Amino acid sequence: MYDLIIIGSGPAGLSAAVYAMRAMLNVLIIEKEAYSGGQIVNTERVDNYLGMYGTSGFDLANAFRGHANSLGVQFMAGDVNGIEDAGTHKVVCLSDDRKLDTRAVLIATGAKHKMLGAPGEEKFKGMGVSYCATCDGAFYRGKTVVCIGGGNVALEDALYLSNLCDKVYLIHRREELRASMDVQDKVKAKENIIFMPYYEVAEICGSDALTEVVIKNNKTNEEQTLPVSGVFVAVGMEPETDFVRGLVDMDEKGYIIAGENCLTSCDGIFVAGDVRTKEVRQVVTAVSDGACAIHFIETFLNKIL
């Protein structure tokens, strides 16, 4: 019987594990991916984490994992597909039929990239359609690509690609961009980034390889075809919460409802990081959630032990 099972090994999960070990809890992290760190692994440069200015997301993730390793945190590879409430404890169920008993659970599964849902997207996923510019941008050196979205991630992707590619079309369904003004200014200063507002992707085309994108103006219904070699999608995230749907309260987007105390509607189940309802989702807020969660998990365990 574990005191705590943490599902997910991003910044929230790793932070919680460090605090749990310092609290002398018997803790286990279950991670689905072959690496720790969550989304920051795919970030080229992190400038807003205190004391780590200019570090890469990969290096920051490794530092987080190294800290957890140094304290002896247990890790297990696995895909959690459900949590059962056994009354006196919780049972974490894995897709390979393993079941693990624990007194408390911390959900720190983060969020995954949203898909466009356009025809051709599924066909060319990983073969021209990418959701990570820093992962795949080098394959398109000297070529023309499309970047879709209007937030910080989309514009930062466009900037990164503009240093590699001949031309970058930035497509957004509105004229107003959601990215911070400093990022917008950098994009505007790049001559090889062509901003195309009011356009949406109607189809991603090609035979053996992706060769063009059909885009449609949502104000005029005009369509045009762009010859491109790659499509980079950055239209937001959706939480990884399907495995607890019906067990804990969620908002309309699927984020688990909890305040800064990380308490869910189900006694003994806590939530931390990007998967929680919150206004700001950053590495620093995820790390903070992990620390806060352990404080309230300790309080919960003290009541039942």
In the set 93, 101, 132, 266, the catalytic residue is 132
In a domain, 117, yes or no: no
Please tell me whether residues 145 and 8 are part of one structural domain.
no
* pTM for this predicted structure: 0.79
What pLDDT is stored for residue 136 in this prediction? 86
- When pLDDT is averaged across residues 148-169 and rounded to a whole number, the result is 96
- Confirm whether 135 is a catalytic residue: yes
Please tell me whether residues 245 and 103 are part of one structural domain.
yes
Among residues 53, 41, 219, the alpha carbon closest in space to that of 132 is found at 41
Which amino acid is present at 182? D
- Confirm whether 289 is a catalytic residue: no
Among residues 292, 296, 268, 267, the alpha carbon closest in space to that of 278 is found at 292
What pLDDT is stored for residue 281 in this prediction? 85
- When pLDDT is averaged across residues 232-246 and rounded to a whole number, the result is 94
Count of domains observed in the chain:
2
User: CA torsion, points 285, 290, 294, 296, in degrees to nearest 10?
Assistant: 40
User: What is the CATH classification number for the domain harbouring 169?
Assistant: 3.50.50.60
> For residue 237, is pLDDT > 90?
no
Mark 148-175 as b/e (b = at least 16 C-beta within 10 Å). bbbbbbbbbbbbbbbebbebbbbbbbee
φ, ψ (nearest 5 deg) of residue 32? -80, -35
Domain final position from 177, 206, 233: 233
Structural domain of 194:
129-233
Please tell me whether residues 91 and 142 are part of one structural domain.
no
In the set 3, 136, 157, 274, the catalytic residue is 136
What pLDDT is stored for residue 296 in this prediction? 98
Please tell me whether residues 207 and 287 are part of one structural domain.
no
Residue 82 to residue 242: CA distance in whole angstroms: 9
Domain final position from 233, 264, 287: 233
- When pLDDT is averaged across residues 284-302 and rounded to a whole number, the result is 97
Domain final position from 233, 257, 280: 233
Kindly give the pairing relationship between strand 210-217 and strand 223-227: antiparallel
In the set 79, 135, 185, 267, the catalytic residue is 135
Q: What is the pLDDT of residues 27-49, one digit of tens each?
A: 999 999 888 998 888 777 788 89
What pLDDT is stored for residue 33 in this prediction? 87
In a domain, 206, yes or no: yes
In a domain, 225, yes or no: yes
